[in-house]
Structure 1
Amino acid sequence: MSVHDDITSVQRSLDDLNRSLGRLEHQLGSGGLEMRRVRLDADHLRESLALLRETAAAPAEPRRPDLVTISDKPYDFSLWTDTDDEGLGARDRHAP
């Protein structure tokens, strides 16, 4: 089965669930906390399936990583003057 067929099958199952919940609401009433929770969960499933359908419908493009150009010319050594040597502390101070 394709993804589209699977999503359609899940949609049919959710439709069956909603019809069954409608019958239960008619018998038990819709005011109870448990019935409201089940109804909300079913609505969330319906929304999640709609999002999944949109994601599955979008064409999957292979993502190429962004390329970074690294220059061959030497670094400017002034970038490293008057700095602390990491882990060694400042030049004019001594470790305890």
Structure 2
Amino acid sequence: MSVHDDLTSVQRCLDDLSRSLGRLEKQLGSGGLEMRRVRADADHLRESVALLRETAAGPATPRKPELVTIPDTPYDDSLWVDTDDEGLGARDRHAP
């Protein structure tokens, strides 16, 4: 089976689950905590399968991240005026 066929099968199963939950809600009521949790879980599954379908429809080859060039020029020293050298303490103080 192809990925598309598998996703279609999963979608059919989720549709069956949704119909079955609808029948249960009519019999048990939809206000109980358990029924709300099951309905929320089914909705999350539906959203997850939709995301999988979008991913499967995308390009087969993974995209390479865009590279960012970092210049070799030194940073402006004024950026570091109000900081301490890590592990060395402040510039104008001495260790006890």
Residue 3 (structure 1) aligned with residue 6 (structure 2): no
CA contact (8 A) 1:30 1:36 kept: no
Amino acid at match of 2:31: G
**Runs of 4+ more than 2 Å apart:** 28-33, 60-68
Instruction: Name the structure 1 match of 2:30.
Output: 31
Amino acid at match of 1:36: R
Identity of aligned residues (%): 69
With normalisation by structure 1, the TM-score equals 0.61
Deviations 1:11-36 (A, max 9, x none): 0000010111111111x333333111
Instruction: Name the structure 1 match of 2:13.
Output: 13
Q: 5+ unaligned residues in a row in structure 1: which ranges?
A: 69-96
Computed over aligned residues only, the root mean square deviation of the Cα atoms, in angstroms, reads 3.3
Instruction: Name the structure 1 match of 2:45.
Output: 45
- Between the two proteins, the alignment pairs up a number of residues equal to 89
Structure 1 residues 65 and 21, CA gap change in structure 2 (3 angstroms): same
Q: 5+ unaligned residues in a row in structure 2: which ranges?
A: 70-96
Amino acid at match of 1:14: L
For 1:64 and 1:32, the matched residues in 2 are separated by: 47
Amino acid at match of 2:29: S
Structure of higher CA gyration radius: 1
With normalisation by structure 2, the TM-score equals 0.61
Instruction: Name the structure 1 match of 2:74.
Output: none
